[in-house]
Amino acid sequence: MATTITTHAYARAGLVGNPSDGYFGKTISFIIRNHRATVTLSESDRFEVVPGEDDLMVFESVNDFLANQKLYGYYGGMRLILAAVKKFHDHFAAKGIQLPNKKFRIAYESDVPRLVGMAGSSAIITATLRALLQFYQVSIDKPLLPSVILSVENDELGIAAGLQDRVIQVYEGITCMDFDKPLLDTRGYGEYEELRPPAPPPLYVAYDPDRAKISGVPHSTLRKRWTDGDPIVHQTMKDFRGLVDRARIALLAGDWPALSSCIDENFELRRKIMALSSEYTRMVDVARRAGASAHFSGSGGAIAGLCEERDYANLCSELNAIGCTVFRPTIDA
C-alpha cells in the first residue's frame, strides 16, 4: 500500500521584537492555528509537484489577472516546494548522507492570508520539510530545523527574511527567541524558550488583504542600512532586545498592561527604522483608539496586540469599518 503523509504548519504573528530577528535581536511570537498550510506527500511512479490554487494561471479576464498581479505579484507555492526539496537534499548531502532516489507526488493547500505578514510562505516550506523528514525517515535537530527552512528562502530564492517565522512554526505555542550573534555563529541557532503564561493573554489579530505586501521589499531596504552601518538601525536593534526582556517578564507574570505597553513601544521603534505608509499605520491607529495595543505582526497588512474583552466588540467594529478581518488566535492544539 502506497505511503501517504499529511503535514501542517500554521500562520504566526510577531508579538514583540520584530523585525530584529534578522539582526541579532530578540523576539516573542505566537502561532495561529486558525490558518495553516497543508502538504500531502504520497509514493508515486515519478516525482511530481502539483500546482496549488495560487499557481493556476486561470482568470475570468485580463483585468482580473492584472488586479491579482497587483495584489499578489507572481508568487505561488510551487517554487517554495521545489526549493525546499532541493535544500532538503543539500542538507543531508553536506552531512555525507546519501538519500535514496525515491519518487513521490507532493501537493499543498493553504488558507493563510497571503502577503499580510502572517508567514504563509514559510508555512508551506515548513510543512514540506516535515513531510520529507517523515517520508525519508530522517531527522533534523529541532533547534537547527528553522535555519534549514530559512535557507530555502535566503539561499535558493533570494528572499530577505529572518529566523523568527521559522522558529515559531517549528516550536509553536508562544516562544521567546534570542538571536545572539555568537550563538548563531558558533552553533547555527539561537536560544529558543517556550513561554507558558499563567493565563491566556487577550490576543487579537487583524488583517486586510488589500494591504498585501511582499515581505522581502521592506526587509531588503533595512538590510542595506544595517550592512552600511547605519547607527540608528544598529541602536534600535539593541533596543529591541531590552524591550523583549521586559515583555517576557510581563507575559510570564500575566501583566497585560505592561505587555501592551511593550507592544505599543515596539511599533514606535519600528517607525524609527522603516518607512511606514499611512495605509498601514492607520490600522494601528484605529486599534489603539478602540482600546487595544497594536503593532505590525509581520511586514505589513496585519497587526496584533492585546485587547480586553470589554473593548473587543468595539475593536472589531472599528477595524471592520476600514476593511479588516479581526479574530482571536487559537494557540494551543
Set of cell numbers at residue 302 = 496585519
Would residue 185 show up in a list of annotated catalytic residues for this protein?
A: no
Which residues contact residue 81 at a Cβ distance below 8 angstroms, ignoring those fewer than 6 apart? 39, 49, 106, 108, 124, 125, 128
* Residue whose entry in the numeric block shows the C-alpha cell 496585519: 302
3-state secondary structure of 56: coil
The terminus-to-terminus CA distance of the chain in angstroms comes to: 30
* Helix then strand then coil, % of the chain, to nearest 5: 50, 20, 35
User: What residues are paired with 176 via a beta bridge?
Assistant: 28, 193
18 to 68, 250, 276: CA distances (angstroms): 28, 17, 14
Q: Which of 165, 208, 285, 311 is catalytic?
A: 165
Say if residues 75 and 44 touch (Cβ distance below 8 Å). no
- Strand 174-178 vs strand 302-306: parallel, antiparallel, or unpaired? unpaired
* Residue 286 cell numbers, joined: 484605529
State whether residue 154 is helix, strand or coil. helix
CA 242, 243, 249: angle at the middle one, nearest 5?
A: 95
Contact 117, 298 (CB under 8 A): yes
Bond before 19 cis per omega within 30 degrees: yes
Q: Residues with catalytic annotation? A: 165
